Amino acid sequence: MPVRVLIFISFVLTTYAADVCDIKPLEGSYGFQQSGRTAISGESKPVTSLGRITFNAEGAISGYSTIMFAGFRLGNPVTGQSEIHVDCTVAWSLQDDSGAFQHFNGVITPDRKSMRFRQTDVGGSVNGVMARTAERCTAKDFQRKYEFTLSGSFTPMLEGEVPRSVDATGMIQSDDSGNFTLVTQIPPATSKDIKVSVEDDCIVNIELALPAKTGKTTQLVTLRGILVNEGKEVLAIRTDPGWMASTRLTAR
C-alpha cells in the first residue's frame, strides 16, 4: 500500500478518534484546584487555589475561590463568562471583586464531568483540574476511606523562618462511630488528631497532625477542599500561612 494512503488512513482514524462535544453552554456546579507559579504581579511566586463555580444556561459563571499566594490566604467571589466548542475545548474568564480578570482554556470530557485546564494570561503558569460537584453535601458524602498525597512548599513569612517542603502520603479513614484516623508510613503510623467537617456547599475542612520524617515533632496541617465526582474525590489545598501545597484525596 502506498505511503500516502497509509498517512491518509492514519489521519482519518485520528480525526474520528477525537472527542466531540455538544456546544450548548455548560450548566451546573464544579469544584476546581490550581497550582503553579505566576508572575502577573511582577516577580514569579508560587500559588495554589481552590474554588467552586456554577455555570448557567447562558454560559455565565458565579462562585468563589480561596487562593494561597506567596504564603497569604486570599478569598474572592468571582463572576465570568464561558464558551464550549465542538472539540471539547472550553474557554472562560473570571473577574474578582477587585475588577481583575483571569483567563483560562481547558478540555472537558464529553460527559462534562471533569476537565484539565490552564491559565492563559501572560506571566501565569498555573495548571488546574475541575470536576462536577453536587449542589448540596452532607457529612455522609465524605467516604469512609481516602488515600492522599500532599506536596508543596513553604515561603518564610517571619524572621527566622526558612523555606521547606512537604511530601507526604497516607490514608484518612473513619470507624463506625465517625472518628477519623490518619495512617502514614512515618512513625507513629496512626494518629487520631484529625478533624473533618463538610459544609452544605460541599466544601470540606480537614485538620490533622502529620508526623515529621525525623524526630517526634508533628506538623499541624489545615486543608480546605471540595467534594467532587459524587464524593469519590476531594480536591484540596493547604491553607496554613506560608504554605502553597495541594492534594487530591481518592476514595478506596
In sequence order, the β-bridge partners of residue 246 are 151, 237
Residue 64 confidence (pLDDT): 96
Residue 216 confidence (pLDDT): 57
- Domains of the chain by start residue, with CATH: 28-132 (2.40.128), 139-251 (2.40.160)
Q: Is the Cα torsion angle 232, 37, 49, 126 positive or negative in sign?
A: negative
Contacts of the segment 84-91: beta carbons below 8 A, 24+ positions apart: 84/21, 84/22, 84/23, 84/24, 84/25, 84/26, 84/108, 85/21, 85/23, 86/20, 86/21, 86/23, 87/18, 87/19, 87/20, 87/21, 88/19, 88/20, 88/21, 90/26, 90/115, 90/117
- pTM here is 0.88
pLDDT in tens, the chain (252 residues): 554 544 444 433 443 346 899 999 999 999 999 999 887 667 888 899 999 999 999 999 999 999 999 889 999 899 999 999 999 999 999 998 888 899 999 999 999 999 999 999 887 778 999 999 999 999 999 999 999 999 999 999 999 999 999 999 999 999 888 899 999 877 777 777 789 999 999 999 999 988 876 555 678 999 999 999 999 999 999 999 999 999 999 999
